[in-house]
């Protein structure tokens, strides 16, 4: 559209819609099938009609017409850092990049032979940036899997601790997807505020975990660590640190929306500050709060910078008061040595008390009636009840709740009969097997569990294991409708390799007034500290404490959670 000179506002509308659709994990096909496309923010009549045409015919005539006559290779270049549609067209046209499959390799060869800098509008600097973008893209997309956030966190903490040993480091933060609390992280970006770029760069290059130095410039150093993680260090003056922090936190779409908002007001944005149109002087900002404030916007927390509606919310001063870890008053999924945990029930209770919880729910995997027999399972429940009664007297400062995590079996039945389930304070249903079933079968299993009167919530609902197993693909619209109708809850599981529900599905729950519970699913006492990772997901979804049931005091929680407390 940019190449063809389409209306600016039309292009902007498409960019906004693409960002919103990219951030959905609900199947867009399911939404279309249920005739609910118009319920997606940013999807108006035109885009809805395009999607309808795409799903019915496999193409959109308008887009096919727009693409006609354009070099196919340009579409492989769009998305490389600093290359938009116009640059991609110019490069593809100049160097005859007619194939998507070979375009990037050919462009790399052209850049290495210093032919890009001879094109009008390009130079040595832009050529070097394009070559760097190609190399970085190949490294991240083809060779390195993204790190779990928890693993990136460990690397970031070691770097920051090391860098703070340098007297010239005034401020330091991690940037990008890490700062936005994305469940997985690619390269690690760090920014330092300093008045001595050279000394800080020298100190960084002595970090003992560096395996290879990729580049060293005046304001940026790129290295690869011994664990194969790439780290980019950016250097900023203290006066422009806020602008640098904002610009490099992203996301890309957030920055596009913010840049357009600023342009509409007569300003241009950069990593160095804000400049008024037609003026040369750049106004610097030491903090992000000052940066957003100058644009008359409420501060936007990094976790919300997806490029959806956060700029509009900030303009209206309606940024939500995001949930914090300190708001959590209890943990309702954890495991002990009674199933597959590593610590005793008492160990877990003591840990919950240390954290400061008002209540704690143990949810070992339910014992099998099929293998142990009903009588033995009833005996286990009686003995567990007696143990909890003793521990409740020993630790009166916390409410101890007895639940089980019950398998939702492949035939849509539960692994425990109702006669057992009704004896528990609560129960959650989870899928642990038969992940390869059809959408209809998976949907039926979850809905049947929700319809059981003794299931309080669904655990790790999508079943995903980050970097290991794809999520199941139920009809989420039907699942959420059933959840709301039955008055049940959905879990945000804080295990770092789950983080499930994902943030967009969690956001959808809140829109439908479905209560959420954040749990650690701890299998040892130290994992109860994982709560912060579940809170990260809730914050990414724009969720406030009032939307999470285990932020409530015990009395309110017991009512909302529908506990079946035994006298």
DSSP secondary structure string, 280-345?
Answer: --EE--SSHHHHHHHTT-----GGG-SSSSHHHHHHTT----B--GGG--EE--B--TTTT-SS-H
Beta strands in 119-168 (DSSP E): 147-148
Tokens of 298: 């409420």
Asked if 493 and 499 count as a contact pair (C-beta separation under 8 A), the reply is: yes
Please report which helix (H) or strand (E) contains residue 89, including its range: helix 85-94
* Contacts by 79-84, CB closer than 8 A, 24 or more apart: 80/104, 80/130, 80/133, 80/134, 80/137, 81/129, 81/132, 81/133, 81/136, 81/137, 82/126, 82/129, 82/130, 82/133, 83/130, 83/133, 84/2
Q: What's residue 118's pLDDT?
A: 87
Asked if 414 and 408 count as a contact pair (C-beta separation under 8 A), the reply is: yes
Residues whose CB is less than 8 angstroms from the CB of residue 127 and which lie 6 or more positions away in sequence, other chains included: 111, 114, 116, 117
Residue 245 burial by Cβ neighbours in a 10 Å radius (0-12, 13-18, 19+):
buried
What is the four-CA torsion angle of 409, 411, 417, 418, rounded to 10 degrees?
100
Q: What's residue 22's pLDDT?
A: 59
> CB neighbours (10 Å) of residue 106?
18
Q: Summarize the chain as % helix, strand, coil (round to 5).
A: 45, 15, 35
Q: What's residue 141's pLDDT?
A: 46
* Contacts by 524-528, CB closer than 8 A, 24 or more apart: 524/341, 524/342, 524/343, 525/343, 525/347, 525/348, 525/350, 525/351, 526/351, 527/334, 527/495, 528/331, 528/334, 528/348, 528/351, 528/352, 528/355
First-to-last CA distance in the chain? 68
Asked if 486 and 450 count as a contact pair (C-beta separation under 8 A), the reply is: yes
Q: What's residue 41's pLDDT?
A: 62
Number of H helices, E strands in the chain: 24, 17
Nearest to 361, CA basis, from 538, 507, 491: 491
CA angle 481, 485, 488 (to 5 degrees): 95
Cα 507 to the chain's mean position, in Å? 12
Query: How far is Cα 127 from Cα 107, in angstroms, rounded to an integer?
Result: 10
Query: How far is Cα 564 from Cα 556, in angstroms, rounded to an integer?
Result: 14
| Integer Rg of the chain from CA | 27
Residues of the chain with pLDDT under 50: 25, 140-142
Beta strands in 237-286 (DSSP E): 267-270, 273-276, 282-283
- Domains of the chain plus CATH, in order, are 8-143 (no CATH), 147-236 (3.30.460.10), 242-315 (3.30.210.10), 325-561 (3.20.20.140)
> CB neighbours (10 Å) of residue 368?
13
- What does pTM read for this prediction? 0.78
3-state SS record for 477-533: HHHHHHHHHHCCEEEEECCCCCCECCHHHHHHHHHCCCCEEEECCECCHHHHHHHHH
Query: How far is Cα 16 from Cα 254, in angstroms, rounded to an integer?
Result: 10
Asked if 446 and 474 count as a contact pair (C-beta separation under 8 A), the reply is: yes
Q: Is 201 helix (H, G, I), strand (E, B) or coil?
A: helix
Residue with tokens 């750049």: 282
DSSP-assigned beta bridge partners for residue 171: 193
- How, if at all, do strands 171-174 and 489-493 pair? unpaired
Query: How far is Cα 368 from Cα 405, in angstroms, rounded to an integer?
Result: 12
- How, if at all, do strands 330-331 and 359-365 pair? parallel
Q: What's residue 12's pLDDT?
A: 59
Query: How far is Cα 264 from Cα 55, in angstroms, rounded to an integer?
Result: 35
CB-facing half-sphere around the CA of 233: CA atoms within 13 A: 32
- Phi/psi at 319 (5° precision): -65, 130
Q: What's residue 547's pLDDT?
A: 97
In 34-84, which residue ranges form alpha helices assigned H by DSSP? Answer: 45-57, 61-67, 74-77
Q: What's residue 26's pLDDT?
A: 55
Residues whose CB is less than 8 angstroms from the CB of residue 355 and which lie 6 or more positions away in sequence, other chains included: 331, 528, 529, 531
């Amino acid at each position: 559209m940019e190449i063809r000179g389409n209306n600016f506002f039309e292009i902007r509308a498409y960019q906004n819609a693409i960002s919103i659709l990219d951030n959905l994990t609900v199947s867009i096909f399911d939404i279309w099938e249920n005739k609910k496309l118009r319920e997606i923010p940013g999807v108006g009549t035109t885009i809805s009609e395009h999607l309808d045409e795409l799903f019915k015919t496999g193409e959109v005539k308008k887009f096919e017409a727009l693409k006609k006559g354009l070099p196919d290779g340009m579409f492989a270049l769009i998305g490389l850092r600093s290359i938009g549609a116009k640059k991609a067209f110019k490069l593809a046209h100049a160097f005859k990049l007619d194939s998507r499959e070979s375009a990037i390799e050919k462009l790399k060869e052209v850049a290495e032979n210093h032919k890009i800098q001879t094109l009008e509008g390009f130079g040595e600097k832009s050529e070097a940036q394009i070559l760097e973008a190609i190399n970085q893209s190949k490294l991240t997309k083809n060779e390195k899997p993204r790190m779990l956030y928890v693993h990136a966190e460990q690397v970031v903490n070691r770097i920051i601790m090391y860098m703070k040993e340098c007297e010239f480091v005034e401020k330091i933060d991690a940037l990008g997807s890490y700062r936005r609390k994305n469940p997985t992280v690619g390269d690690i970006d760090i920014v330092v505020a300093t008045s001595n770029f050279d000394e800080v760069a020298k100190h960084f290059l002595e970090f003992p975990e560096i395996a290879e130095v990729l580049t060293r410039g005046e304001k940026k150093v790129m290295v690869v660590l011994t664990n194969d993680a790439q780290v980019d260090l950016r250097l900023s003056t203290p006066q422009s640190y806020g602008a640098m922090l904002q610009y490099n936190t992203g996301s890309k779409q957030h920055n596009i929306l913010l840049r357009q908002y600023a342009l509409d007001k007569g300003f241009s944005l950069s990593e160095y500050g804000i400049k008024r149109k037609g003026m040369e002087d750049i106004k610097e900002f030491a903090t992000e709060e000052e940066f957003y404030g100058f644009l008359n916007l409420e501060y936007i927390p990094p976790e919300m910078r997806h490029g959806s509606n956060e700029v509009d919310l900030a303009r209206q001063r309606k940024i939500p008061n995001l949930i914090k870890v300190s708001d959590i008053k209890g943990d309702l999924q954890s495991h002990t040595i009674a199933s597959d945990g590593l610590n005793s029930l008492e160990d877990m209770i003591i840990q919950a008390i240390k954290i400061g919880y008002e209540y704690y729910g143990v949810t070992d995997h339910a014992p099998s009636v099929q293998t142990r027999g009903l009588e033995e399972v009833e005996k286990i429940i009686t003995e567990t009840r007696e143990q909890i009664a003793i521990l409740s007297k020993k630790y009166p400062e916390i409410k101890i709740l007895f639940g089980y995590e019950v398998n939702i079996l492949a035939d849509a039945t539960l692994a425990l009969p109702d006669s057992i389930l009704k004896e528990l304070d609560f129960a959650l249903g989870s899928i642990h097997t038969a992940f390869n079933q059809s959408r209809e079968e998976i949907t039926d299993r979850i809905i049947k569990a929700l319809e059981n009167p003794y299931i309080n919530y669904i655990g790790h609902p999508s079943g995903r294991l980050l970097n290991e197993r794809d999520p199941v693909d139920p009809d989420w619209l039907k699942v959420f409708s059933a959840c709301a109708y039955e008055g049940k809850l959905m879990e945000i599981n804080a295990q770092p390799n789950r983080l499930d529900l994902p943030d967009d599905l969690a956001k959808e729950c809140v829109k439908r007034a479905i209560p959420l519970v954040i749990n650690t699913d701890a299998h040892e006492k130290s994992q109860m500290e994982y709560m912060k990772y579940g809170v990260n997901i809730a914050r990414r979804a724009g969720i406030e404490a009032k939307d999470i049931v285990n932020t409530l005091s015990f009395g309110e929680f017991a009512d909302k959670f529908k506990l079946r407390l035994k006298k």
